[in-house]
Structure 1
């Protein structure tokens, strides 16, 4: 089964894009607005400068991917870019397993990988995109200064 970009992203009609990245301001190089959300829960956002950034929920980083929306549109046609950041094989695997998304949902790890969750199908479930992005932003903000391998026992969410 071939997947399209629509299969690898979610419809943002029911998502409040103005506040989606509120818990990620600590990682933002500039103020930005959500432009696209992958089915796996990562966010592409455009900064005031016009640059497009990738907010990686697993790595806890926001990185530039394109200087402007035109360059971003070109990247969306690049199979390697799409494979690397949209995880089509995982989306297909989840769909084949009968795990589907409702409007406003993304696939998320029940136990986030940053908290030693496993990247296995039985640890992935549909979750509200706003909750997913918020929780990951809060977790990564709280652990960003810890040395690798630190055992995490207490995480607080707002």
Structure 2
């Protein structure tokens, strides 16, 4: 099944950008501006030292480009394949799960937890602002725990 560029990435609107900045302020200090999001809920943001990738599923942040224009060029190559996860999105579409405007994919069990895999059976479509907020809150609560620590998720 063929996916379009809009099925993989989108530009967050002002409200979603504000949600991301507020939700992840505990991890990302200073001024930053979301420039792109993937349907996997990852946020690419720009600040004075370049463009960074916030992987919401893992809570990891890494610098990926010197500028937004360089990011767009990298999106066309192997780095882009890693970031927007075309094969996963194709599998989700084949399973009848297609994120629309303002939506992205999230996990029943997030990666990093036992059973947290990138498969259609473990993923669903959700509003992007909820995923960004939820993932930030989850990672804020577990950021000081050692790898392998047992946790219990309680959804209220």
Question: TM-score, length-normalised on structure 1?
Answer: 0.86
The equivalent of 2:3 in structure 1 is: 3
Cα–Cα, structure 1 residues 3 and 50, in superposed 2: closer, same or farther, change >3 Å? farther
Q: Is the 8 A contact 1:14 1:104 kept in 2?
A: no
Cα–Cα, structure 1 residues 97 and 114, in superposed 2: closer, same or farther, change >3 Å? same
The Cα shift of 1:156 comes to 7.8
Q: Is the 8 A contact 2:19 2:133 kept in 1?
A: no
The Cα shift of 1:30 comes to 3.3
The equivalent of 2:98 in structure 1 is: 100
The equivalent of 1:67 in structure 2 is: 66
- Supply the distance in 1 between the matched residues of 2:84 and 2:93 (Cα, whole angstroms): 14
- CA RMSD between the two structures: 2.2
The Cα shift of 1:55 comes to 0.5
Cα–Cα, structure 1 residues 22 and 58, in superposed 2: closer, same or farther, change >3 Å? same
Gaps of 5+ in 1: none
Alignment of 1:59-138 (within 5 A): 59-78=58-77, 80-119=78-117, 120-138=119-137
Q: Is the 8 A contact 1:51 1:64 kept in 2?
A: yes
The Cα shift of 1:147 comes to 0.8
- Supply the distance in 1 between the matched residues of 2:68 and 2:10 (Cα, whole angstroms): 18
Cα–Cα, structure 1 residues 3 and 128, in superposed 2: closer, same or farther, change >3 Å? same
Question: TM-score, length-normalised on structure 2?
Answer: 0.87
* 1:98-157 C-alpha deviation (Å, 9 max, x unpaired): 111232110110222244343132110001111101111111111111111100125688
